[in-house]
Amino acid sequence: MADIKEKIIFSKQQLQLIATKKNCSSFSYKDWGDDSLLDLRCYIRNYYRNLQKGECAFCKKDLSIVAVGNAHVEHIVPKSIYPQFIFEPKNLCVICADCNQIKRDQEINKNTTNTLKKEFIKYPRSSKSFLIVHPHFDVWHNHLEKFNGFFISKDDHKERKGSFTIYACGLNRKFSKFGYEKEIYSDNDLMEAARKLIESDDIITRFNALTNLKNIINN
Ligand SMILES: [Zn+2]
């Protein structure tokens, strides 16, 4: 079972609005923020915010429960690359303001990260088609782990979804900006990092564990 178990279902009226937008030759992904889509965006936000239990789909941090400022509708396959999936229910979720800003900056700078392995005419129906941890197809905790605020991938040799998500959403942004804080570590942290380094067969997990250990010791 994936993190999001039920996709959003649009009303007849909403489907009519979507059809009108899709049939309009001048409609582009840049029109997503238009006033005419305000109610639809609000409906999507509230639906997925409830279903995701108020957690960001990528970093799992808390979303705003009432306000719109820290709960943004996200297109998992970027709308700038695949505008045909802009209203696809399985392409939608909600994310926090920081994850959204990172994705938005990429879009503005025309540096959007493609999350699909290859082009599809219809929206893919399998986890394997996506590079990113996809909340409608994947279980976040199977691919990622949070260790003292630091995100670590649980990738095996076949898949790189965890590492890709850390990279695409800049999940370790706090550490790249502020570095490590000495007080967040304890002996338990040291032992846990050492255990991961010794026990894991995965090179990325081992590398992350080694980096953690170095930081704990140097602090
Ligand atoms: Zn987030």
Q: How far is the CA of 104 from the centre of ligand 1 (A)?
A: 13
Q: How far is the CA of 164 from the centre of ligand 1 (A)?
A: 15
pLDDT digits (tens, 9 = 90+) for 88-122: 999 999 999 999 999 888 887 788 889 999 989 99
**Which carries the bigger pLDDT value, residue 173 or residue 35?**
35
Structure tokens at 54: 């108020």
Q: How far is the CA of 35 from the centre of ligand 1 (A)?
A: 25
Q: How far is the CA of 5 from the centre of ligand 1 (A)?
A: 19
Q: How many helices (H) and strands (E) does the chain have?
A: 8, 4
Q: How far is the CA of 61 from the centre of ligand 1 (A)?
A: 6
Mean pLDDT, residues 47-69: 93
Between 30-34, 176-180, 213-217, the lowest mean confidence (pLDDT) is in 176-180
Model pLDDT, residue 180: 54
Q: How far is the CA of 78 from the centre of ligand 1 (A)?
A: 16
Q: How far is the CA of 165 from the centre of ligand 1 (A)?
A: 11
Q: How far is the CA of 152 from the centre of ligand 1 (A)?
A: 15
pLDDT digits (tens, 9 = 90+) for 184-207: 555 667 777 777 877 788 888 888
Q: How far is the CA of 3 from the centre of ligand 1 (A)?
A: 15
Integer angstrom CA distances of residue 3 from 11, 126, 180: 24, 14, 30
Indicate if the pLDDT at residue 60 is higher than 50.
Answer: yes
Q: 39 has which bridge partners?
A: none
Q: How far is the CA of 145 from the centre of ligand 1 (A)?
A: 14
DSSP string, 149-186: TEEEE---SS--HHHHHHHHTTTTHHHHHH---GGG--
Residue 162 phi/psi, 5-degree rounding, is -60, -50
Closest CA to 96 of 17, 14, 174: 174
Q: How far is the CA of 170 from the centre of ligand 1 (A)?
A: 9
> Predicted confidence band at 131 (pLDDT cuts at 50, 70, 90)?
very high
Q: Which amino acid is at 79?
A: K
Indicate if the pLDDT at residue 176 is higher than 80.
Answer: no
Model pLDDT, residue 183: 46
Q: How far is the CA of 71 from the centre of ligand 1 (A)?
A: 9
Helix or strand (DSSP H, E) at 51: helix 38-51
Indicate if the pLDDT at residue 75 is higher than 70.
Answer: yes
Indicate if the pLDDT at residue 71 is higher than 70.
Answer: yes
Model pLDDT, residue 84: 95
Q: How far is the CA of 20 from the centre of ligand 1 (A)?
A: 32
Model pLDDT, residue 219: 58
Which residues are CB-neighbours of 78 under 8 A, at least 6 positions away? 103, 107, 112, 113, 114, 115
Q: Which residue reads 């297109």 in tokens?
A: 75
Mean pLDDT computed over every residue of the chain: 88
Q: How far is the CA of 85 from the centre of ligand 1 (A)?
A: 21
Model pLDDT, residue 185: 52
- Alpha-carbon torsion (102, 108, 114, 120), positive or negative: positive
Q: Which residue reads 């926090």 in tokens?
A: 96
Q: How many CA atoms lie within 13 A of 30 on its CB side?
A: 3
DSSP string, 83-116: GGGTT-GGGEEEE-HHHHHHHHHHHHTT-PPP-B
